[in-house]
Structures are given as C-alpha cells and as structure tokens.
C-alpha cells in the first residue's frame, strides 16, 4: 500500500467527511426537536438537515469508489509481488509445492489484502481520528456524558485486537484448509480421465468431501467468532447510547441538563458509534488477512535464487564441465548425484543415459540452475554458472524438456516464447527442423491455431515437436535435450534425430535420454546409475564392454 498512501488518506478523509455530515445533521435534528418542545418552528433546521443529505450521499459514494480502487490496487500490487517472487524462486520451488496451493496463495492472498486495505484500514482510520473529535464536541456540550461515552467507545475499539489475539488460534487454518482443498480439486480436474479410467473417481470424490467438510467446519467456526464479536460490539454501542439516555433523563429531571443538551448528547452518541459499527462490519476483512498474512509472509521470506555478488561476463566459448557435483533433493535421504565429473567439449554431443531414477534429469536441472548443486561447480566456457546472472545463463541454453509446457494461445505465440520478435519465416524454418511445419499448415488456422491448456488440440508427439521447434528458434549455443523424442513414433524420431544432428552442428549438445536409439551418434555416452557415472565411451566401445549400457540396449531391443 505504500505507493498508494494518498488513496488511503482520501478514503479515510471521505469517512471523516461522512461522519462530520452525520454529526451536523444530528445537531440540526436536536435543534429542531428542542424547538418543538419549546413551541418554536422546527422547519429551518430540518430543511438544512435535508440539504446535507446530498453532501452525505456524495461523500459516501466517493469514499466507496476510493476504497474499491485502493483495495484493487493493493491486491494487484501484492499479486505482482507474489508472482514475481514465485518466478524468482524458480521451477524447483514450484515442483516441491502443489499447483493448487500456490494458485490459492496468489489469489487468496490478494483478495484478503484487497479487503483489508479497502475496507478495514479506512474504517480504522475514521474511528481513530473521527471518534476523538466527536467526543470533543460532546464534551463541549456535557463533559460527564463525554467521559461515559469515551469509556464505552474505547472498549468497543479495543475489542478488535484483544479478540484477534484470543480467538485467532482457535480458528487458525482456514486459509491453509482452502489451499489444500484447492490443490486437490485442481489435481482432480487435471487427472479426471485417469480417475475415471481406474474407477477411482468415487474415492477422490469422498476425499474432496472430507476436505470440504473440514473447510466448512473451520469457516463456520470463524464465522461464529466474528458474529460473537459483532454481538459484543452491538451490545457496547447500544448500551452506551441507552446509558446516556437513562442518565441524561435523570439529570434532566433534576435540572442538571437542558433538553437541547440531552438531545445533542443522545443523537451525537449514536453518531459516535456509527464508525465503530462500520469497523465491526469490516472486521471480517481483517480476520481474513490475519489468516492469509502468515502463509503470505512465510512465502515472501523464502530465499529466492541468489544473484551473484559479482556478475561474470558472458562466456565466449561454450564447453560444459561438471566438477565434483553432488545434489540431494529436500526431504530425500540419499543424494541424487554423487561427485559427478564430466566434460562436454564445444561443438560436441554428449549423452547421459541410465535406468529410471539414476539422476539424469537432475543434471539437466542443475545445468539450467533450476536447482543449485550442494557441492562442486558447473562451468560453461570456464565460467562458473553461479557467477552468471540467471537470465544471462538461460540465454545460452535452449531446452527441450521431457514434459514440454505449452500455454493457452496460438501456436505462433508458443513458439515466440523463445524469440519474441521472430517472423513467420523463422517460425516455419524452426518447425521444419522439428518435422512439424506441414502438420501446422494443415490446421484450419495454421500458425494462428489456438491451443488449450497444456497444448490441448495437439497430439503428444506434436506437442513434443513443437517444443523442439521452440528450442531451435531459440538459436542458443548450448542445446539441452531431456528425453526430447520420448513422445514421438519411430519414423518421426528418425527424422527429428537427423534434423537435430544438422541443427546441432557447431553447438554444444547435452542429451538426456532413456530411449537409447537417439544417442548412438553421440561423441560420448555417459552411463549413470544411482547418481554415479559408472561407464563412458562411444556406442561401439560400450556395447563391446558388455556392461550396464549393453544390457539396457539389449532390454530395449527385446521389448521392441
């Protein structure tokens, strides 16, 4: 909210303006009633009070508009802050947390900030500034009535922090429960075909029902607490007004007060509690932020990907070296990599193969610095990649992941993620390398064809080849292929392999592969098992050695 402090002041000023007009109307109404009691003409003060309705309505409308704008800007600012921090944390953080929970953190946190900024804070400012001023006016009329009302008003205002501190632990967890429900619901929607295919939709529905029931219980508990707090506040405000009416009537009967003084104190007492009642209505917003603020703060406190203290210049050569690299995933007992050392000469193609779980994809994540090694270092052109700015490092590498991500939008827009200003000719040239240009042109809108979530509208092989085309369009000096042909048929694989061989000439190519037919042309093959490189050589030398690589090749040929 810091950049929008002027809006916050305007929202508070509008609330104070409404309170001032209400007080003026009460004074005029008291004068009119006193005139009636004295047998005078009440119409002039009543007419003036009626004219003030226009000012009151205008201030109310303006205050509401400012509050909505303030809340919207606060929500947008927090959303940008959270989204930027999530991008700074990188893919590793996202992979370790459910998508639904992260989405709820961004959306739910922003909504809670909007309510707290646009509703609660202006109401609180109006109470803290307007109520003392109104009490000063009542004290000018009658000091003893002002003292009584000051005590009741202070008690009503202090209810908020005391109630939050007392009851919040009893209702904690609603925001977390909503995040858990959102995560499971999102996973269920994404995996609906799988749930149906395995007859598991009933079990998943029961899991969702249990989470929904827990969420409902927590929400009702929170609602009960806020309603009880509202009842307490109402009792204080009505009790204070009733006390002034009873005590003032007694003093009027004893001749200690004039009728006009009693009427002024009584009507201004009602105005005194109006902003406090508004604060009570906005209390639920503060409660929501109290729930969301903890997870949001913990998320923002998570250390982002560190930027090097001294940013190195971009390398001028592009050989890759892993030097004693080790890495352990959070929560895992065994490291994914043990003291891995190897080199990929500039312009060469080196493949990393091995059984599932050997740590092959970990090498890809470390090279792109989506994760940082626990020990050792990785160099490109002799420069430690930890000394490069993340964006500078990733400009050097074009990646084809095992599970390519395509976004809703046109095929052309998905390709231009690699090079925003690329023309149609460049898009088509990249797609031809991936053996995809003819298939795209056969679609009704060609490169303007809209894709759905996760590339819906394309087959699995087409999605994979679109990711290859995107990497080709990147035209980076280092090419990283992580199971790049795992989702294509053998005929397309052969064509893509030939095209990538042509495209890869002069580039440093690191191939992570499970399908061994894709790596036979590699200059060197590294065989990995349980986080260790256990063999290395060419296809021919490894086959002659009869080790793990030869057994993997034999197993795949048997399956084929």
12 and 112 belong to one structural domain: yes
- In DSSP notation, 143-168 reads HHHHHHHHHHHHHHHHHHHHHHHHHH
Q: Could you tell me the CATH number of the domain that includes residue 35?
A: 1.20.1560.10
60 and 176 belong to one structural domain: yes
Domain that holds residue 451: 320-559
**Domain membership flag for residue 307:** no
297 and 353 belong to one structural domain: no
Residues 6+ apart with CB under 8 A from 382: 315, 317, 319, 321
**Domain membership flag for residue 309:** no
102 band by pLDDT with thresholds 50, 70 and 90: confident
Identify the domain boundary among 301, 332, 365: 301
Higher pLDDT, residue 165 or 214:
214
328 and 288 belong to one structural domain: no
211 and 335 belong to one structural domain: no
421 and 464 belong to one structural domain: yes
274 and 382 belong to one structural domain: no
What is the mean pLDDT of the segment spanning 341-354?
Answer: 91
Per DSSP bridges, beta strands 383-384 and 349-353 are unpaired
Quote the pLDDT of residue 433: 84
**Domain membership flag for residue 311:** no
Rounded Cα–Cα distance for residues 344 and 363 (Å): 13
Higher pLDDT, residue 533 or 169:
533
Burial of 94 (0-12, 13-18, 19+ CB in 10 A): middle
Quote the pLDDT of residue 352: 92
236 and 326 belong to one structural domain: no
Question: Are the C-beta atoms of 434 and 498 separated by less than 8 Å?
Answer: no
Average pLDDT, rounded, for the chain:
83
What is the mean pLDDT of the segment spanning 37-54?
Answer: 85
Q: Could you tell me the CATH number of the domain that includes residue 341?
A: 3.40.50.300
- State which H helix or E strand residue 431 sits in: helix 424-433
Per DSSP bridges, beta strands 478-482 and 508-512 are parallel
Domains held by the chain: number: 2
150's tokens? 């000051």
286 and 355 belong to one structural domain: no
341 and 209 belong to one structural domain: no
Quote the pLDDT of residue 327: 92
Residues 6+ apart with CB under 8 A from 449: 410, 411, 440, 443, 457
Quote the pLDDT of residue 172: 54
511 beta partners: 351, 481
pLDDT > 60? residue 253: yes
Centroid of chain to Cα 395 = 26
SS3 label, residue 316? coil
141 and 247 belong to one structural domain: yes
Quote the pLDDT of residue 169: 54
Long-range contacts at 547-552 (CB < 8 A, ≥ 24 apart)? 548/354, 549/353, 549/516, 549/525, 552/353, 552/354, 552/355, 552/516, 552/527
**Domain membership flag for residue 491:** yes
**Domain membership flag for residue 314:** no
Closest CA to 136 of 8, 241, 227, 272: 272
Closest CA to 350 of 335, 372, 331, 367: 367
328 and 289 belong to one structural domain: no
Higher pLDDT, residue 161 or 66:
66
**Domain membership flag for residue 455:** yes
Centroid of chain to Cα 73 = 16
Rounded Cα–Cα distance for residues 23 and 135 (Å): 11
């Amino acid at each position: 909210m810091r950049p929008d402090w002027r809006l916050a002041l305007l929202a508070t000023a509008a609330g104070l303006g409404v309170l001032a007009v209400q007080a003026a109307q009460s004074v005029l109404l008291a004068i009119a009633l006193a005139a009636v009691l004295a047998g005078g003409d009440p119409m002039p003060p009543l007419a003036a009070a009626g004219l003030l309705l226009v000012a009151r309505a205008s201030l109310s409308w303006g205050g509401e508009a400012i509050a909505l704008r303030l809340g919207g800007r606060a929500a947008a600012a927090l959303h940008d802050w959270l989204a930027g921090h999530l991008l700074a944390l990188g893919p590793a953080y996202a992979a370790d947390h459910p998508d639904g929970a992260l989405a709820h953190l961004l959306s739910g946190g922003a909504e809670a900030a909007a309510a707290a900024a646009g509703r609660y804070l202006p109401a609180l400012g109006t109470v803290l500034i307007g109520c003392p001023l109104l009490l000063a006016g009542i004290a000018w009329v009658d000091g003893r009535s002002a003292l009584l009302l000051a005590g009741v008003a202070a008690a009503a205002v202090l209810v908020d922090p005391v109630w939050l501190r007392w009851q919040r632990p009893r209702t904690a967890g609603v925001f977390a429960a909503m995040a858990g429900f959102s995560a499971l619901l999102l996973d269920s929607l994404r995996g609906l075909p799988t749930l149906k295919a395995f007859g598991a939709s009933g079990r998943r529905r029961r899991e969702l029902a249990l989470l929904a029931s827990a969420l409902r219980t927590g929400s009702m508990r929170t609602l009960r607490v806020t309603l009880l707090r509202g009842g307490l506040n109402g009792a204080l405000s009505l009790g204070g007004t009733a006390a002034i009416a009873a005590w003032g009537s007694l003093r009027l009967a004893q001749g200690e007060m004039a009728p006009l003084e009693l009427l002024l104190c009584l009507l201004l007492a009602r105005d005194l509690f109006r902003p406090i009642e508004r604060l009570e209505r906005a209390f639920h917003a503060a409660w929501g932020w109290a729930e969301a603020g903890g997870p949001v703060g913990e998320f923002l406190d998570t250390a982002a990907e560190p930027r090097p203290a001294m940013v190195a210049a971009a390398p001028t050569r592009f050989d890759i070296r892993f030097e004693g690299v080790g890495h352990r995933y959070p929560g895992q007992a065994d490291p994914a990599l043990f003291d891995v050392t190897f080199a990929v000469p500039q312009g060469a193609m080196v493949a990393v193969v091995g059984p599932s779980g050997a740590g092959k994809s970990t090498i890809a994540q470390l090279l792109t610095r989506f994760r940082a090694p626990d020990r050792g270092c990785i160099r490109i052109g002799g420069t430690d990649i930890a000394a490069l700015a993340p964006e500078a490092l990733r400009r050097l590498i074009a990646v084809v992941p095992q599970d390519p991500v395509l976004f809703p939008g046109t095929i052309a827009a998905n390709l231009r993620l690699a090079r925003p200003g690329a023309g149609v000719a460049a898009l088509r040239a990249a797609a031809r390398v991936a053996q995809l240009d003819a298939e795209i042109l056969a679609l009704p809108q060609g490169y303007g064809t809209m894709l759905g979530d996760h590339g819906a509208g394309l087959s699995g092989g087409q999605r994979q080849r679109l990711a290859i085309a995107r990497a080709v369009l990147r035209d980076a000096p280092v090419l990283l292929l992580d199971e790049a042909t795992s989702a294509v048929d053998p005929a397309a694989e052969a064509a893509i392999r030939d095209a990538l061989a042509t495209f890869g000439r002069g580039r440093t190519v690191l191939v992570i592969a499970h399908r061994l037919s894709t790596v036979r042309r590699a200059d060197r093959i590294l065989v990995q098992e349980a986080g260790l490189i256990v063999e290395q050589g060419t296809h021919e030398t490894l086959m002659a050695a009869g080790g793990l690589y030869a057994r993997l090749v034999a197993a795949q040929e048997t399956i084929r």
